[in-house]
Amino acid sequence: MKLRTRIAATYVTLTIVAIAIVSMISSWQIRQFLEKRDEATLTAQVSMFAEQFSAGILHVDPSGGSDSTLSSLAHPLGTRMTLIGRDGRVLFDTNVPRDSLGFLENHKGRPELRAARRGRVGTDVRESRTVHEDFLYAATQIHVPSDSLLDGGYVRLAFPTGPSRALVSRVQMMVWLVGLVVALCMAAASIPLARRITRPLQGISKMAEAMTKGDLRVRIPLAAQDEVGSLATTINTMADTLSTDIERLRKLERVRSEFLANVSHELRTPIFSMQGFLETLIDGAVDDPAVNREFLGKAHKHAERLNTLLNDLIEISRIESGDMKMSHRYFALPEFLAHVVEEMRPEADRKNISLTLLNPLPEDVEVFGDKERLKQVMVNLIDNAIKYTDPGGSVTVRAVADADKVTISVADTGCGIAEEHLGRIFERFYRVDKDRSREVGGTGLGLAIVKHIVEAHDGTLSVKSAVGKGTEFSFTVKR
Ligand SMILES: Nc1ncnc2c1ncn2[C@@H]1O[C@H](COP(=O)(O)OP(=O)(O)OP(=O)(O)O)[C@@H](O)[C@H]1O
Ligand SMILES: [Mg+2]
């Protein structure tokens, strides 16, 4: 059964139960009231008639002469009057013709008469055996010594209970009728109410269905600030989180496959070149003293390149998987810088580039970090500066100290980097000029590694450049 139907059914059932209870209680109360009232009235009337018989104002005539007087007294009251002799014989009855009185049963044993003999007004409710209708009876004894027929006899009044019962039934009917209307109104009112409850639930289930099919864009329109509303909010938030997560996973997957494509591409170049030179040598060039050395040298250069590339790849995957362990400690910076610059000097000399260290810091200035990794940063930056500067240019390494950090910069007078590339050079495999980079042996991993290492030291890395004038990379280390 639908929730909506169930809510409506509950409302209607509750209404019907409430009506049944109201109807039962009200009709019981009314019946009680009417019965008490009728009994009191009839008791008063029968006592009054008894007094009048006892006083001789009223009497019964065996020949029937008094019948019309008695009838005219009983009828307006809506009662049936019966006069019964001491022996139980019926002397008169407003509802029975005089010539039929002889056929009537002896009334001596009637409950109201038996009660009357005990000196009170006796009452009883039952179906009349004479006229077959439900009656309330009230009887009392008459004492009139002058009238031998009536003395010790009884006057009895009977009042039909039908009309009272009919009134009760009418009230009951009215209650049910009103109740029915109320039940219908309830049913009608429960429909929009039930819909208000079920609509957001329908929204939620629709959304869950859509999510099952993989559509995470669906959101539940927020209805009310109630429990269902807060459920909807929770589910919407959940969907937001899920789609963000999935988006991130997709992006990661994209980056991963791009990375894989780049790697295979980069590996292929040196391998193919090596293969080419070696094949040429095998095909006979090995015996040609004019080229064999040159070809072997070139093959060797590509093997070296392959080695650097693989080392860089291992490095970067280690960094990105979080496997790279840093061992931070304090070490003297001036000595460190001098050492790195001297190591790079042969490379600069080979290209006829002047390499200068400008270090105004005292000998004992220390920085806090992983010395080996920071050396890698320096080597990468100086290597780039030499690679992308034409012979005759210069590369300057500088250190500037603050209270809590040292800023180290590597500046060159090289080709510079155009504005639009500056934001991307730290990405893996990104190279401004692919051909020139490859020529000088670059794969675009150096700066990505630099960035990772500087960030692992909580430092900042920045670059300033002007095309044709030169470039300056700076990074900070904590003191
Ligand atoms: N000092 C510089 N002057 C001009 N361009 C530079 C300089 N340093 C880096 N670049 C540009 O940024 C790109 C990325 O540098 P990165 O060090 O990451 O790669 P690479 O030097 O080409 O290769 P690798 O360092 O992996 O051998 C370079 O290809 C180059 O185009
Ligand atoms: Mg580089």
Tell me, letter by letter, the H, E, C secondary structure of the chain. Answer: CCHHHHHHHHHHHHHHHHHHHHHHHHHHHHHHHHHHHHHHHHHHHHHHHHHHHHCCCCCCCCCCCCHHHHHHHHHHHCCEEEEECCCCCEEEECCCCHHHHHHCCCCCCCHHHHHHHCCCCEEEEEECCCCCCEEEEEEEECCCCCCCCCCCCEEEEEEECHHHHHHHHHHHHHHHHHHHHHHHHHHHHHHHHHHHHHHHHHHHHHHHHHHHCCCCCCCCCCCCCCHHHHHHHHHHHHHHHHHHHHHHHHHHHHHHHHHHHHHHHHHHHHHHHHHHHHHHHHCCHHHCCCCHHHHHHHHHHHHHHHHHHHHHHHHHHHHHCCCCCCCCEEEEHHHHHHHHHHHHHHHHHHCCCEEEEECCCCCCCEEEECHHHHHHHHHHHHHHHHHCCCCCCEEEEEEEECCCEEEEEEEECCCCCCHHHHCCCCCCCCCCCHHHHHHCCCCCCHHHHHHHHHHHCCCCEEEEEECCCEEEEEEEEEC
**pLDDT tens for residues 386-442?**
999 999 999 999 999 999 999 999 999 999 999 999 999 999 888 888 777 667 667
90 CB within 6 A, ligand 1: no
For ligand 1, atom 9, name the residue with the nearest CA.
Answer: 384
Give the pLDDT score at 477: 97
pLDDT by residue (tens digit) across 321-359? 877 788 999 999 999 999 999 999 999 999 999 999 998
Query: Quick check: CB of 415 below 6 Å from ligand 1?
Result: yes
Please name the amino acid found at residue 162: G
Mutation test residue for ligand 1: of 379, 384, 449, the one with most atoms within 8 Å of CB: 384
> Can you list the domains of the chain with their CATH numbers?
3-168 (3.30.450.20), 227-319 (1.10.287.130), 325-478 (3.30.565.10)
Q: Higher-confidence residue: 34 or 214?
A: 34
- Measured in Å, how far apart are the chain's first and last C-alpha atoms? 73
Q: What is the mean pLDDT of residues 89-94?
A: 92
The predicted pLDDT at position 438 comes to: 67
Mutational test site, ligand 1, from 447, 451, 454, 471, max ligand atoms within 8 Å of CB: 447
Query: How sure is the predictor about 211, in pLDDT bands with cuts at 50, 70 and 90?
Result: confident
Least confident residue range of 90-94, 259-263, 368-372: 259-263
- Which carries the bigger pLDDT value, residue 472 or residue 197? 472
- Judge whether 316 and 323 are in contact, CB under 8 Å: no
Residue minimizing CA distance to atom 8 of ligand 1? 384
Mean of pLDDT over the chain? 90
Alpha-carbon span 386 to 425, nearest angstrom: 17
The confidence score (pLDDT) of residue 149 equals: 84
pLDDT over 90 percentage in the chain = 53
* Any atom of ligand 1 within 6 Å of the Cβ of 437: yes
pLDDT class of 223 with cuts at 50, 70, 90:
low
More confidently predicted of 232 and 299: 299
Measured from the Cβ of residue 377, the count of other Cβ atoms closer than 10 Å reads: 28
Average pLDDT over residues 71-76: 92
Q: Which residues lie near ion ligand 2 (Cβ < 5 Å)?
A: 384, 446
Residue nearest to atom 27 of ligand 1 (CA): 442
What does the pLDDT read at residue 265? 85
- Region of residue 277 (left: phi > 0; alpha: psi -120 to 50; beta: else): alpha
Pocket of ligand 1 contains residue 412 by CB under 6 Å: yes
Q: Which of 5-19, 406-420, 439-453 has the highest mean pLDDT?
A: 406-420
Q: Could you identify the atom of ligand 1 that is nearest to the CA of residue 414?
A: 3
Question: 4: pLDDT confidence band, cut at 50, 70 and 90?
Answer: confident
Q: Is the CB of residue 417 below 6 angstroms from any atom belonging to ligand 1?
A: yes
Choice between 183 and 474, residue whose per-residue pLDDT is larger? 474
**Whether residue 113 has its Cβ less than 6 Å from ligand 1:** no
Ligand 1 in reach of 432 Cβ (< 6 A):
yes
pTM: predicted TM-score of the whole model, two decimal places: 0.56
Q: Which of 152-161, 201-210, 266-275 has the lowest mean pLDDT?
A: 201-210
Residue 238, pLDDT > 70, answer: yes
> CA torsion sign, 107 to 108 to 110 to 114?
positive
- The number of residues making up the chain comes to 479
